[in-house]
Structure 1
Amino acid sequence: MSAMDTSEDQKSLNKKVNNMSLFTHLLACLFGMGSWVSINGLWVELPLIVPQIPEGWYLPSYLSILIQMANVGPLFITLMHRFRPGALNETAAIYVIISLGSIATFLLGFFWKETLVVAGAPRSVALLVLTFFLAVVDCTSSVTFLPFMMHLKPQYLTTYFIGEGVSGLLPALVALIQGVGVVHCKNSTHLLNQTFTTFSNAVVVELQAQYQPANFSAEVFFFFLSAMMLVCLVAFLLLNYHPSVAREHPTKRYTNGVKEPCQKGRMCSAQRSMIDPYRPAKQRRKSSFGTGVYSWWQVFYIFAILSWVNALTNTALPSVQSYSCMPYGNNAYHLSATLAAVSNPMACFIALFVPIRSLVFMGTLTVVGSAVGAYIMGMAVLSPCPLLVNDTSGGAVMVLAWIFFILSLSYVKVIIGLILRDEGHSALVWCGAVVQLGSLLGAITMFPLVSVYDLFTSGDPCNTKCP
């Protein structure tokens, strides 16, 4: 065989490997997309659902409670990994929760408007029960999907996080096409009541907000969400059984969540280099956590930041997004919601090529992102008359604030995921648990402020007047 033939064969093999690498990246992205697509989709569909159910705008507060109750799923998984390592079949659990999500979203398309009389009043029992199952699916994905990514090379974890970002972006884009929440201000006239002094009627003309009819129904939207969950299921099947994806498995160190002892000698060193090739081969362990690279104070620091950024991005700031944006107009609200959803996968894409793992940089970016979040929260508290409300620059500043807030803190979350991925399977399980803990703390903090104490005031998109 000539050298030219050998070179051509090598090029053909490299091209085939690169194509399969892209295929695996696509599967990892589609798998990550199924993590939160159903709950994210339900939230963006609320403006269309709320007018047709007896709970009205109390539904968001009910959903918040149901989602936090659903943390019983990740709690169970975490306890099983802690006290019965190896007893839980992780792959089977993922099949169950994806299938449950597909079925629950499909049933929502038929039963979301159905009511039952409970305690003398009509209630959307089917909607609430199915939402609870969806919440169990999505919350449990945090402690099952992430550890599963240990079966693939580290670069695919970043692609998985891109898919998680798409799980929020895709439903938002479909809802925009659907026309959910689009408001038109139209003139409305009504008679002012007679007074004893004038005995005359006064005609008052004011703008009235009217919501544009949707381009397609909520039923079609729920069937779309069910299809997305099925796509996630197919992607997971291919990640497990496609023969070419097997080449992307870095090592067999983990079997069903249990770390296998590495062999002595050069094999152990080779396995260690596959975890993180930039670490010294012989480095003194600073703690018993993972590979021992980080001290317990550093581990606490990493998990504290992870909990904080998830509390802000998953529950605290999203719960006041309408209060922070609507005073600047309907366009500012939709732009901030859509571009913030784009910022999440964009941050993951940046981290794919520029993964800065410095703990100092991580803390600095968290502080800067939190400061932007504090500005957003402050404008929500000042609603309906925040700063620059009568200036065209006010809406632009708010949209940019949301973009940078999500972009910066999403990047922090991805980098922490990469760090914990190198620390092993158990570290990723705890990563998912801390993500849910942070979201829970954010919800517990914001629920009474928004729903009980009425700290935030909505502005009329057509008639709010500020000095």
Structure 2
Amino acid sequence: MSLFTHLLAVLFGMGSWVSINGLWVELPLIVPQIPEGWYLPSYLSVLIQMANVGPLFVTLMHRFQPGVLNEAAVVYAIIVLGAAASFLLGFFWKETVLIAGVPRSLALLVLTFFLAAVDCTSSVTFLPFMMRLQPQYLTTYFIGEGVSGLLPALVALIQGVGVVHCINTTQSLNHTLNASIGSGNGDLQAQYQPSNFSAEIFFFFLSAMMLVCLVSFLLLNHHPAVAREHPAPRYTNGTKETSERRTRAEQRPMMDPFRHQNHNPRSSFGSGSYSWMQVLYIFVVLAWVNALSNTVLPSVQSYSCLPYGNNAYHLSATLAAVANPLACFIAMFVSIRSLVFLGFLTVLGSAIGSYIMLAAALSPCPLLVNQTSGSAVIVLAWILFILSLSYVKVIIGMILRDEGHSALVWCGAVVQLGSLLGAVTMFPLVSVYAVFSAGDPCNTSCP
């Protein structure tokens, strides 16, 4: 294995979702300065789901016109588009135009759609591209994908986004922003603190990260050291085959001791190692865990954590972001591909997610709200939730990688489908019917 190639795989994977993840963590700084206000997250959710037209197009092309779509060209195009859109956001995110007499952040919404199209399409282009490298680099790619959420969060933490101080409402507010995140029935009011650097600089940082992704992709395609990591071809009985396919067949019993070994194809999917019922099971689990971890639970994270205080909210967001790449790192050394074990982890993660959802539903007075243990439990719940389901996603990615290029395309499509279904489910509950009530980090009226 090449450390250089591993580094490039991490940087390449980092570009998959860094733009949209960065936009989400910057919301507390953006929202007070645009006419949409806190309706913006709802608009973003809709735009991100509309952007699934990108992966839908790529998936249909692979299904009905295989080989026509130049995969590398698509990757180059979407990375450049992501870098350009992030760069333009630095100049135009505050610009408004009158639409039907109402000021709207048209530039912000349009550029966000392009960023969402880039990140959604990466699910069905970046993953299949990793088929060109040895299997171990796919896990490294997933680490990079996890870092795409962690890195913007850390930069936003340095920036001071979302830092709240509880002040007495009778005191001067000279050192706070005009926008507040809410006030309770008590004497304290939660106020955002000024950031250490502007949103413009943050968007330029996101653009730079996309350029880093572009450079890493160029090197993955053309650097001689990476070329040595490609599966080497050989000819057997006049038929060209790869050493990867040969060694995979030889090593599979050792790599996957839990899977039923059968030399006869059990289905026409991939290598035929799995029956159609097992394939359906794998994709259902994949859709479920992505729905929970990408859209369903993140949409209520503030409701589940803020009643325990602002520190609990920031700790849960930051440590959950760390748990994602940590799960990928663990999968590099402990790769358990048992479908039963994956089902167990999915049930465990779903149970923990149910507790988080219960806390959000009971907000602003969830369980243990006035106790120190309540903060510890909710933070630990978020860590274990992301850790368990991220491990499931990585292992399923490794399984589908062994089943071939087409399987990874469908993997990306199902990831986006699960996220879409989760967003469609949660959007009306959160934004239309207002089922959840926000907690106040400075005041509580709970007994």
C-alpha separation in 1, matches of 2:312 and 2:189: 19
Partner of 1:84: 65
One-letter code of the match for 1:71?
N
Provide the residue aligned with 1:152 in structure 2: 133
Taking the TM superposition and a 5 Å limit, the aligned residue runs for 1:243-392 are 243-251=224-232, 263-264=236-237, 270=243, 272-279=245-252, 283-392=263-372
Q: Give the SS at the match of 2:224.
A: coil
Does residue 39 of the first structure (1) align with residue 20 of the second (2)? yes
Are the structure 2 counterparts of residues 458 and 252 from structure 1 closer, same or farther at C-alpha, using a change threshold of 3 Å? farther
1:203-242 matches, within 5 Å, as 206-242=187-223
TM-score normalised by L of structure 2? 0.93
Give how far 1:160 is off. 0.1
Residues 305-361 of structure 1: CA distance to partner in whole angstroms, max 9, x if unpaired?
000000000000000000000000000000000000000000000000001000000
Q: Report the Cα offset of residue 188 of structure 1.
A: 1.5
The 2-side partners of 1:106 and 1:267 are apart by: 45
Map 1:31-70 → 2, pairs under 5 A: 31-70=12-51
Query: What whole-Å deviation, never above 9, does each CA across 1:206-239 have from its counterpart, x for those lacking one?
Result: 1111111000000000000000000000000000
**Letter of the 1:385 counterpart:** C
Give the distance between the partners of 1:218 and 1:324, measured in 2 at CA. 27
Distance in 2, matches of 1:304 and 1:186, equals 48
Q: Which residue type is aligned with residue 289 of structure 1?
A: F
Cα pair distance change 1:329/1:271, threshold 3 Å: closer
Whether the 8 Å CA contact 1:320–1:377 is kept in 2: the answer is yes
2:189 is paired with a residue whose SS is strand
The one-letter code of the counterpart of 2:158 is I
Which residue is equivalent to 1:397? 377
For the aligned residue pairs, the C-alpha RMSD in angstroms reads 1.7
Contact 2:233 2:242 (C-alpha < 8 Å) held by counterparts: no
Q: Which amino acid aligns with 2:290?
A: N
Distance 1:188 1:79 in 2: 57
Partner SS, residue 437 of structure 2: coil
Residue in 2 that maps onto 1:168: 149
- Name which of 115, 119, 122 aligns with 1:141: 122
> Take 1:252 and 1:64, find their aligned partners in 2: how far apart are those partners?
45
| Letter of the structure 1 residue corresponding to residue 200 of structure 2 | E
Q: What SS does the corresponding residue of 1:117 show, helix, strand or coil?
A: strand
Q: Deviations over 1:93-113 (max 9, x none)?
A: 000000000000000000000
Q: 1:269 to 1:28 in 2, by over 3 A?
A: closer
User: Which stretches in structure 1 are left out of the alignment for 5+ residues?
Assistant: 1-17, 191-203, 254-261
Deviation string 1:364-404 (CA, Å, 9 cap, x unpaired) is 00000000000000000000000000000000000000000
In the TM superposition, residue 273 of structure 1 has moved relative to its aligned partner by 2.7
- Please report how far the alpha carbon of residue 462 of structure 1 lies from its aligned counterpart in structure 2 after TM superposition: 1.2
Q: Flag the structure with larger Rg.
A: 1
Query: Is this contact kept in 2: 1:250–1:274, CA < 8 A?
Result: no
Structure 1 counterpart of 2:409, from 406, 429, 441: 429
Displacement, 1:264?
3.6
Q: Secondary structure at the residue paired with 2:266?
A: coil
- The one-letter amino acid paired with 2:281 is Y
User: 1:15 matched to which residue of 2?
Assistant: none
- Amino acid corresponding to residue 29 of structure 1 in structure 2: V
- 2:181 corresponds to: none
Match of 1:118 in 2: 99
Q: Give 2:182's aligned residue.
A: none
* Distance in 1 separating the partners of 2:65 and 2:239: 32
Counterpart of 2:204 in structure 1: which amino acid?
Answer: F
Taking a change above 3 Å as real, the CA distance of residues 212 and 303 of structure 1, as seen in their structure-2 partners, is same
Residue pair 1:276, 1:422 contacting (<8 A) in 2 also:
no
CA distance in 2, matches of 1:78, 1:283: 30
C-alpha separation between the residues in 1 aligned to 2:233 and 2:68? 18
Aligned residue type for 1:320: V
TM-superposed CA distance for 1:461, in Å, is 1.5
Is contact 2:231–2:243 with CA below 8 Å preserved after alignment? no
Give the residue type in structure 1 aligned to 2:393.
Answer: K
- What CA distance in whole angstroms lies between the structure 1 residues aligned with 2:232 and 2:353? 41
Q: Tell me the percent identity.
A: 79
- CA distance in structure 1 between the aligned counterparts of 2:436 and 2:237, rounded to whole angstroms: 62
Counterpart code for 2:187: E
Identify the residue that residue 5 of structure 1 maps to in structure 2.
none
- Residue of structure 2 aligned with 1:94, choices 39, 52, 75: 75
Separation in 2, partners of 1:336, 1:36? 20
Letter of the aligned partner of 1:219 in structure 2?
Answer: E
**With structure 1 as the length reference, what TM-score do the two structures score?**
0.89
Equivalent of residue 3 in structure 2, options 22, 26, 30: 22
**Residue 87 of structure 1: SS of its match in structure 2?**
coil
How many angstroms apart in 2 are the aligned matches of 1:24 and 1:78? 27
| Cα contact 2:163–2:193 (8 A) shared by 1 | yes
Shift in alpha-carbon separation, 1:87–1:295, aligned structure 2, 3 A: same
Equivalent residues of 1:273, 1:279 under 8 A apart: no
